[in-house]
Amino acid sequence: MFCYQCEQTVGGTGCTSMGMCGKHQDVAGLQDLMVHQLKGIGYLAHKARLLGKVDDEVNRYTAEALFSTITNVDFDPDRLMHWINKGESMRQKLLAMVPVKERGDAPDSVSFASGKTASDCLSQASELTILNFHTDPDIRSLEHLLLYGLKGLAAYADHAAILGKKDDAVFGYMHKALSKLNDSSQTLEDLVPLVLECGTVNIRCMQLLDEGHTSRFGHPQPVNVSTARKKGPAIVISGHDMADLEELLKQTEGKGVNVYTHGEMLPAHGYPGLRKFKHLAGHFGTAWQNQQKEFEAVPAAFVFTTNCIQKPRDSYKDRVFTCNLVGWPGVPHVNNRDFAPVIKRAMELGGLEETGGSVMPTGFARTAVLSHAGAIVDAVKSGVIKRFFVIGGCDGAKPGRNYYTEFAQNVPKNSVIITLACGKFRFNTLDFGAIGGIPRFLDVGQCNDAYSAVVVAQTLAQAFKCTINDLPLSFVLSWYEQKAVVVLLSLLSLGIRGIRLGPSLPAFLSKNVLAFLVKTFDIKPITTPNEDLKAIFS
């Protein structure tokens, strides 16, 4: 195997025998095969779309299959074989839709037929690693940047589709980009616009997801979420899927079971349509990478809705469930949002004892922040607020991430911190106070809620009649997996410069591609909090 799609990859170069995420080499091989399949499916779907033929099942499969290959989603070979077999049926469907004469000089991925068994597929996968992309290291680097951006885009497209929000232009771009990954004649000049387009399309995708959330659950409102535990049976739900949480709350209502959010589900408490459930009891634990120690000896059922799962320890594996695209060998999977087995297990375990806790603020999405736009603009013009800092992104277990805690602590008291995604768990229990009635700490939500941060920045730029780059605004971001990659591409597609990125730079960026990004967008690797703050204010 060879995998370097996440930030914690071995030695900062690549995992070659076992993924640092816990991914077995067989899982990596099956995922590589899926990517090869998807390149062929993308080619055919793109050709079909040019003929005016669009298939919704192919669209949904493309997003789901790509999402299944993201870090910390699916570790189960049996479930991956389901996607591979379905991919073969999608290929056959597309072959029937696109006449031979319309296929052009079709690449090998179009004629590739996957094996029927995992053993057969693993034999095929040995020739399909991502190192078999373009031979030129710079072109291959951009191809991988595009691939990982596509995976992040697919995650948001899947979330939006679950909520009934779809735009064929998003799927059309996916298929076009996958098709282009077959083309060995691509140059750097060809790939750079295609990569940035991924960011532009993702902004539309995050807008769709925002519409899905707000139309169904209402606009988020600021709230302090308790980390205290209530006495009684408990279910802890992790991941990102709000539709799963809503259904779980409906099925547990009146049964004496308390539901707690975990990780990136924290922002759920800001939505009126979810907070109305009285047994949404609070938030459990901190960021995703601490689950193995935080779930230890806890008599609760745990549900993983999207990426974030780690290898469950034997001490709590008997009460872990997966759903949607998440999979782990030997862990029961919830189908069709039927949480009856989860509820039954939670009640069997007896439940939690009452304990105290702290609070975590959330719910400062675009509508909440922009309702104070006038006061914010006045505070900036009068000099009360000197600067805004967007400090957020993915958290992770690799050393060096305390940088973000120290940076937030050292941000001057005349500045406001805007945060999003699980990186906030490094500092979201600290008391940052307020400036003139405006909180200094604003949690806009999940990683996909970067759309809210973008809208806030664009609105402020309009108020000051300037560009986003002219605002007293700095981006200090942490990345871990592929959704963070596509969010970064979204910011770059808007022309945002001077982003500080860490804790280490992606291993899949070649020296020349990195140099291009630094020159074009002034991307800066983080150094130390004090040095970076000094540079920002200089």
pLDDT score of 370 more than 90: yes
Q: Please give the average per-residue pLDDT across 236-241, as a whole number.
A: 97
Instruction: Give one DSSP letter per residue of 449-486, joined into a string.
Output: GHHHHHHHHHHHHHHHTS-GGGSSEEEEEE--SHHHHH
Domain boundary among 215, 246, 273: 215
> How many residues in total does the chain contain?
538
Is the alpha carbon torsion for 6, 9, 14, 16 positive or negative? negative
Task: Note whether residue 357 is domain-resident.
Answer: no
Residues 426 and 308 in one domain: no
Residues 447 and 322 in one domain: no
Q: CA 133, CA 181: separation in Å to the nearest integer?
A: 8
The CATH number of residue 509's host domain is: 3.40.50.2030
- Percent of the chain having pLDDT more than 90? 98
pLDDT grade for 11, boundaries at 50, 70 and 90: very high
| Model confidence pLDDT, tens digit, residues 54-67 | 999 999 999 999 99
| Model confidence pLDDT, tens digit, residues 505-529 | 999 999 999 999 999 999 999 999 9
Task: Please check whether residue 123 is in contact with residue 115, taking contact to mean a CB–CB distance below 8 angstroms.
Answer: yes
| Model confidence pLDDT, tens digit, residues 22-54 | 999 999 999 999 999 999 999 999 999 999 999
Residues 209 and 235 in one domain: no
| Model confidence pLDDT, tens digit, residues 150-176 | 999 999 999 999 999 999 999 999 999
Residues 342 and 416 in one domain: no
| Residue 373: predicted pLDDT | 93
pLDDT grade for 302, boundaries at 50, 70 and 90: very high
Q: What is the mean pLDDT of the chain?
A: 97
Task: Note whether residue 358 is domain-resident.
Answer: no
User: Which amino acid is residue 5, in one-letter code?
Assistant: Q
Q: CA 442, CA 369: separation in Å to the nearest integer?
A: 8
pTM for this one?
0.97
| Model confidence pLDDT, tens digit, residues 305-318 | 999 999 999 999 99
Residues 204 and 256 in one domain: no
Task: Note whether residue 360 is domain-resident.
Answer: no
Residues 421 and 489 in one domain: yes
pLDDT score of 448 more than 90: no
Compute φ and ψ for 401, nearest 5 degrees.
Answer: -85, -10
| Residue 537: predicted pLDDT | 94
Q: Please give the average per-residue pLDDT across 187-209, as a whole number.
A: 97
| Model confidence pLDDT, tens digit, residues 401-439 | 999 999 999 999 999 999 999 999 999 999 999 998 899
pLDDT score of 284 more than 90: yes
Number of domains into which the chain is organized: 3
Q: CA 421, CA 445: separation in Å to the nearest integer?
A: 6
Residues 235 and 206 in one domain: no
Task: Note whether residue 427 is domain-resident.
Answer: yes
In the β-sheet with 333-334, what is the strand arrangement from edge to edge?
280-283, 258-261, 234-238, 301-304, 320-323, 333-334
Q: Please give the average per-residue pLDDT across 195-223, as a whole number.
A: 98
Residues 417 and 516 in one domain: yes
Distance linking the first and last C-alpha atoms of the chain: 46
pLDDT grade for 2, boundaries at 50, 70 and 90: very high
pLDDT score of 250 more than 90: yes
Residues 491 and 434 in one domain: yes
| Residue 129: predicted pLDDT | 92
Residues 197 and 256 in one domain: no
| Model confidence pLDDT, tens digit, residues 324-369 | 999 999 999 999 999 999 999 999 999 999 999 999 999 999 999 9
Task: Note whether residue 501 is domain-resident.
Answer: yes
Q: What does the DSSP 8-state code read for residue 153?
A: H
Domain boundary among 160, 187, 215: 215
Residues 195 and 290 in one domain: no
478 forms beta bridges with 393, 502
pLDDT score of 81 more than 90: yes
| Residue 328: predicted pLDDT | 98
| Model confidence pLDDT, tens digit, residues 99-126 | 999 999 999 999 999 999 999 999 999 9
Residue 157: partners with Cβ closer than 8 Å, 6 or more residues away: 63, 166, 170, 171, 174, 205, 208
Task: Please check whether residue 171 is in contact with residue 165, taking contact to mean a CB–CB distance below 8 angstroms.
Answer: no
Residues 48 and 96 in one domain: yes
| Residue 398: predicted pLDDT | 81
Task: Note whether residue 39 is domain-resident.
Answer: yes
| Residue 436: predicted pLDDT | 84
Q: CA 454, CA 418: separation in Å to the nearest integer?
A: 11
Task: Note whether residue 408 is domain-resident.
Answer: yes
pLDDT grade for 384, boundaries at 50, 70 and 90: very high
| Residue 399: predicted pLDDT | 81
Q: Which of 424, 415, 337, 345 is nearest to 380 (CA)?
A: 415
The CATH number of residue 24's host domain is: 1.20.1270.20
Domain of residue 72, residue span: 10-215
Q: Tokens at residue 329, please? A: 């060998």
pLDDT score of 397 more than 90: no
Task: Note whether residue 317 is domain-resident.
Answer: yes
Domain boundary among 330, 348, 366: 348
Residue-wise burial string across 403-438, b where 16 or more C-beta atoms lie within 10 A, e elsewhere: bbbebbeebeeebbbbbbbbbbbbbbeeebeebeee
